[in-house]
Amino acid sequence: MTMTHDEFKELVPIMALNALPAEEEEQVAAHVEFCVECSRLFGEYRSTAGDLAMAVRPVTPPADLKDRIMAQARQTAPVGTEASRSQQATPRRSGPTFARWMGVAAAAAVALVVIGFGAQQLMEQNQRVQQQEELLSAQREALDLIGSGETSVLTMNPTQDSDGVTGRVFVSSDSGRAAVLLSGLTEPSGDSIYTLWMIRDGNEEPVADFGPDRSGLAVLSVDDVKSDTTLAITLEPQPGNTSPQGPVLATAYKA
Amino acid sequence: MRTKTGKLKKRLEEPDDAGLLEGILNGDQACLSVFYDRYAGSAFGLAWKICNNRAIAEDVVQEAFMAVWQRPSSFDSSRGSAGSFLLGIVHHKAVDAIRKEESVRRREENFTSDLSDASGDEVVEAAWLALRRQSVLKALQQLSDVQREALELAYLHGLTYSEVAARLRIPLGTAKTRMRDGLIRLRGILDESAVNG
């Protein structure tokens, strides 16, 4: 069944309460991912739902829980820190690193506890929820880059060389400022680097060389995106190229 | 603990969530430790309330703190407090857990309000946290009885809107309306009380 924007919007508060059945949540989450207004509303309602949780009386957790959490934290650096960047330096498609094995071990420990009641499904769902949250967070970051006002959304269309790279471009109708949100990126090997290009009037201008975060996401800003402009992502053999040499992975056209 | 920056040290001495998350973003485990001390009781209380199983609640809380540790940049201070951010993660993970196994929850028990002061182990609650809890309870009292009941069933018992409708023997649309209106009204009241101090 196809829902309208207003119908989706009515379900956003229910999703913020985690009270939608799985199938419906999937549909609404897919809409929220692409809808600027519903994405903003979801963030606000989610925060209010978190406030609601403050009404529950605190209960002292077992003394060793903190030890377990701190021990796990010592094994895993937060995304964005120097330590995590060294973790990211390993290509995502290579063999498992120590940190990844630790992640597998931690997941296995959780699986042992919850085995017998759908452990695999639970982990898959948790992974899906985490990916969704990361994507929404990146989208908020993208929207913050262009500020408030009327926004149009373009799709980054993958080419045959995209290897899973997709994305969207949020363009402010007022300022012409745009934010590019890319997903499905992998850590380039060697000197290779992703590059965002702006193409108009037959000229190719490099906007930024960039790499993905650990979730394979990247958010970039571009100023002055006028009509009849193409944005393109390439994988360049080295940083600093002034004209594209690598394969084109995805493009978006602003009419 | 890093002591290079006097600012961060001061924040730790005078607890401030934004400073703690900034520290976590920099990989400072001491900040995670303080953040845990501050919210573990609320997180565990919520997880246990929803899961009705101590072991699963512990796992949920551990996963939630690790999610904050690994992606603190997901937090957007313009959309609420760090505590609400953490508890939102706890809730999602707890609901995911219970929906996988009917037997670990109390779906069939008679519903009574959970928003009282009379349950759970005693925990030494920071004064500011107790005040905050009181302000949320006060805001909830301003909702209509049917809105509050629908929100409690959905949020604290982890029921879907169709389960809420079945439990209350009301149409699906009515359940959705009560939950939606309740949450929107709660948001307005809390925003207003934040503005008015």
Q: Distance (Å, rounded) from C-alpha A205 to C-alpha A227? A: 16
Return the residue of A nearest to B135 by Cα.
A55
Range of the domain at A245: 139-254
- Sort strands A166-172 and A203-210 into parallel, antiparallel or unpaired: unpaired
In a domain, A156, yes or no: yes
Q: What is the pLDDT of residue B175?
A: 96
Domain-located, residue A13: yes
Nearest beta carbon to residue B132 from set A54, A72, A130: A54
One domain for residues B27 and B72: yes
CB crowding A61-84: b at 16 or more within 10 Å, else e: beeebbebbbebbeebbbbbbeeb
Tokens of B137: 């309870």
| pLDDT more than 90, % of chain B | 38
* More confident call, B71 vs B87: B87
Task: Indicate if the pLDDT at residue B158 is higher than 70.
Answer: yes
Domain of B20, in residue numbers: 11-106+120-124
Q: Quick: pLDDT tens for A27-43.
A: 998 888 878 888 889 88
Verify that B88 and B22 share a domain, yes or no: yes
Contact present, A180 and A219 (Cβ < 8 Å): yes
Residues 176-215 of A with CB under 8 A from B: none
Do B92 and B154 belong to one domain? no
- In chain B, which residue's Cα lies nearest the Cα of A117? B101
E runs forming strands in chain B:
none
Chain B, window 58-97: residues with a beta carbon less than 8 angstroms from a chain A beta carbon:
58-59, 61-63, 65-67, 69-74, 76, 79-81, 83-88, 90-93, 95-97
| Residue B61 contacts residue B42 (beta carbons within 8 Å) | no
Are residues B80 and B26 both part of a single domain? yes
Q: How far apart are CA B158 and CA B114, in angstroms?
A: 13
Are B87 and B135 members of one domain?
no
Q: What is the pLDDT along chain A (255 residues), one digit of tens a residue?
A: 678 889 999 999 999 999 999 889 989 988 888 788 888 898 889 888 888 888 888 888 998 999 999 999 888 765 555 444 444 333 322 333 333 333 334 444 444 444 444 445 555 555 656 666 666 767 766 776 666 666 777 888 777 777 888 888 888 777 788 888 888 888 888 888 898 988 888 788 888 888 887 677 888 888 888 888 888 898 998 888 888 888 888 888 887
Question: Computed from CA positions of residues B154, B156, B159, B163, in that sequence, does the dihedral angle turn out positive or negative?
Answer: negative
Based on the fold, state whether residues B101 and B136 are members of the same structural domain: no
Q: Give how many domains chain B has, as a whole number.
A: 2
Residues linked to residue A251 through DSSP beta bridges, in sequence order: A157, A232
- Residue A85 confidence (pLDDT): 40
The domain tally of chain A equals 2
Question: What is the residue-wise DSSP string for B76-98?
Answer: -GGG--HHHHHHHHHHHHHHHHH
- Taking the CA of residue A164 and the nearest CA in chain B, the distance in Å comes to 23
> How many residue pairs from chains A and B have C-beta atoms closer than 8 A?
237
Measured between beta carbons, the chain B residues lying within 8 angstroms of A78 are 24-25, 27, 69-72
A16 in a domain, yes or no? yes
For A39-80, write each residue's pLDDT tens digit.
889 888 988 888 888 888 888 899 899 999 999 988 876 555
**Rounded to whole angstroms, how far apart are CA atoms B12 and A227?**
50
pLDDT of B124 higher than 70: no
- Flag whether B181 is in a domain: yes
Cβ within 8 Å of residue A226, ≥6 positions away = A176, A200, A254
Question: Cα separation of B99 and A122, whole Å?
Answer: 9
Cβ neighbours for A250, distance < 8 A, ≥ 6 positions apart: A156, A157, A158, A159, A162, A165, A166, A167, A182, A232, A233
Are residues B131 and B86 both part of a single domain? no
Residue that is last in its domain, among B64, B97, B124:
B124
Task: List, as ranges, residues 22-41 from A with C-beta within 8 Å of B.
Answer: 22
User: A46 and A144: one domain?
Assistant: no
Those residues with Cβ within 8 angstroms of residue A190's Cβ, 6 or more apart along the chain or in another chain: none
What DSSP character marks residue B109?
Answer: S
What are A198's strand-pairing partners? A205, A231
Can you say how many angstroms the Cα of residue B147 is from the centroid of all Cα atoms in its chain?
18
Query: By mean pLDDT, which of A221-225, B2-6, B12-16 is the weakest?
Result: B2-6
Interchain CB distance below 8 Å, A22 and B136:
no
